Amino acid sequence: MALRRAARAVQTGDAQVIACVAADTNQIDSFRATLGNFSQFSRDAVYPYGAGGPNASFALLTSYYMRTFGARREDFGKLCVAQRDNALRFPHALFKKSLTLQEYLDARPIATPLGLYDCVMPCAGAEGFLVMTRRRAVELGLAHANILGTIEAHNSFRADPIQIRGGWALDRDELFAQAGVRHDAIDFVQTYDDYPVISVMQFEDLGFCGKGEGPDFVRSNTFTCSGTFPTNTSGGQLSVGQAGAAGGFLGITESVRQLTDSTLGTTAVTDARVGLVSGFGMINYDRGLCCGAAILSRSAP
Amino acid sequence: MKRPFNTLPQFPVALPPSGRSRIALGLTAAAALGRFELQVCRDCGAVQYPPRESCHRCLSPTLDWTAQSGSGELISETTLFHSNEPFFRRRLPCRLGLVRLDCGANAVTFINDDVNSLPARVRVSSYLDWAGSVMRSWSGRDYRSRRTRPKALRSFAV
């Protein structure tokens, strides 16, 4: 979303170079204080109910999704395990230990059906990138990726009784039309992954599979850097950690690294030319308010 | 240590989250009188929850707190094993759910033990806790006899 707005400002000439920086600190009790004051709705109507924070909100979404579309814990576990495999290749990831599906399934329950490894870990950290015209990047001799298309939506599908889809579903055709590519041209995807169910919704709503086909899609791909449908190639927020708003930038910085041959560790996806990065956020009551996505490509040599 | 229900808590005591917006205190005011009320728009009739300053449908600021039946369908449920607040840590696990009220609003509520499998018809009511008011879903049978204070309520209510 920041990327999209910065690009618009550069495109219209309002700015020449925009630095997008997101960061957060993490002190004792700071996460609790954030949760208790997250939004008026959450303070009035969610937090007093056990103070589970986003774990509880996503548990309700995950539980509904599993009951409606037949997803199993193993499906979400597969994503978490694949991302941990990716994180082991990425030096900045906070999780350094491998994770097996059995360990995922045996983890202590947090808010059923979510266990420990379904929940993103708050941390301190920062992500940042620069947005400028392609010509300026070339003149400055900077390694860069091109923005092929972006979408952004707010308060979508608000008549749905519970969130089973996001605004990506409204605008995905527009996104791919802007980019001039088809789904099979996408070499990697960086989803917003604070909980695995929302990654599965992104696969569906961005058109990589149909609504409700997410579980089968997960079963038929590996999601690792060297496997099929590489996803969250740095380990994603689930294995790197979520540094406040910087969590939403994680996929962008990793995409830029992939497309400029500057990956850290061994996360490089072979012949990555086009990548899709997706964002989601702000569960102010019972569902996420906003979502966005961008398609980025390698700069022509 | 298990203490009798009616004795005062020993200090220091952890309280449930007490922060509420000014507008949300309307729910607490009704709960103090034993009523379950939600905001209803005087102009378009829309019922809304969580409470807010204007109508979610037509933006009218004239909203009346109006008695509701509280009937709805429990569409999703979780059992919470982890809480960020010390008050709840001794009271876990506890059941929460999302109720689609027949009036069209969604309510996150505690779920009483008598509510069985999903999706389930429930009645939602509100009551005072140590810090404000909260909502709880009951099955129809237990709702009618709620003044007998079901066991599960004791851990959360005054």
> A37 or A164: whose pLDDT is higher?
A164
B40's CB contacts (< 8 A; 6+ apart) are B46, B47, B48, B63, B64, B65, B66
**Best mutation target, A38, A46, A49, A65, to test chain B (most B CBs within 10 A):** A49
B48's CB contacts (< 8 A; 6+ apart) are B38, B39, B40, B41, B55, B56, B57, B63, B105
**A120 class by beta-carbon count within 10 Å (0-12 exposed, 13-18 middle, 19+ buried):** buried
A70/A72 Cα distance (integer angstroms): 6
Residue B139's pLDDT is: 75
For residues A35 and A51, the answer to whether their CB atoms sit within 8 Å is yes
B123/B137 Cα distance (integer angstroms): 5
Nearest to A51 among B50, B52, B85 (CB): B85
Nearest to A36 among B19, B52, B82 (CB): B19
CB contact under 8 A, B110 and A53: no
- Is A140 near chain B, with CB under 8 Å? no
Residues A89-123: tens digit of each pLDDT: 999 999 999 999 999 999 999 999 999 999 999 99
User: What mean pLDDT comes out for the span A227-235?
Assistant: 96
Residues A144-153: tens digit of each pLDDT: 999 999 999 9
Q: pLDDT category, B5, cuts 50, 70, 90?
A: low
Residue B14's pLDDT is: 82
Q: What is the pTM of this model?
A: 0.91
3-state secondary structure of A250: helix
Distances (CA, A) of A189 to A45, A162, A232, A278: 34, 25, 6, 8
Residues of A with Cβ-Cβ distance to B20 under 8 angstroms:
43-44, 48
* Pairs across A and B, CB distance < 8 A: 122
CB contact under 8 A, A161 and B106: yes
Sign of the C-alpha dihedral, residues A243, A248, A253, A258? positive
3-state secondary structure of B47: strand
Residues of B with Cβ-Cβ distance to A41 under 8 angstroms:
50, 52
Residue B144 structural domain: 25-157
B57, part of any domain: yes
Residues of B with CB under 8 A from a CB of A: 16-17, 19-21, 24, 49-52, 75-85, 87-88, 92-94, 96-98, 100, 106-110, 118, 129, 131-132, 134-135
In percent, how much of chain A has pLDDT > 70? Answer: 100
Nearest to A286 among B19, B98, B131 (CB): B98
A200/A58 Cα distance (integer angstroms): 13
Q: How far is B76 from chain A (nearest CA, A)?
A: 5
Residues A256-301: tens digit of each pLDDT: 999 999 999 999 999 999 999 999 988 999 999 999 999 999 997 5
B138, part of any domain: yes
CB contact under 8 A, B83 and A51: yes
**Best mutation target, B81, B101, B111, B128, to test chain A (most A CBs within 10 A):** B81
B46, part of any domain: yes
B20, part of any domain: no
B97, part of any domain: yes
Q: How far is A116 from chain B (nearest CA, A)?
A: 10
B134/B123 Cα distance (integer angstroms): 14
CB contact under 8 A, A112 and B79: yes
B69/B114 Cα distance (integer angstroms): 19
Question: Does residue B154 register a pLDDT over 70?
Answer: no
Number of domains in chain B: 1
Question: Does residue B145 register a pLDDT over 50?
Answer: no
CB contact under 8 A, A48 and B17: yes
CB contact under 8 A, B24 and A32: no
ipTM value for the complex:
0.90
A274/A193 Cα distance (integer angstroms): 20
∠ CA(B76), CA(B85), CA(B87), 5° rounding? 100
Residues of A with Cβ-Cβ distance to B134 under 8 angstroms:
48-49
B107/B70 Cα distance (integer angstroms): 10
Across all residues in chain B, what is the average pLDDT? Answer: 83
B17, part of any domain: no
B9, part of any domain: no
For residues B137 and B123, the answer to whether their CB atoms sit within 8 Å is yes
**A172 φψ region: left (φ > 0), alpha (ψ -120 to 50), beta (else):** alpha
Closest by Cα among A237, A234, A228 to A265 = A234
Residues A161-206: tens digit of each pLDDT: 999 999 999 999 999 999 999 999 999 999 999 999 999 999 999 9
Residue B151's pLDDT is: 42
Residue A95's pLDDT is: 96
Sign of the C-alpha dihedral, residues A85, A250, A181, A167? positive
For residues A46 and A57, the answer to whether their CB atoms sit within 8 Å is yes
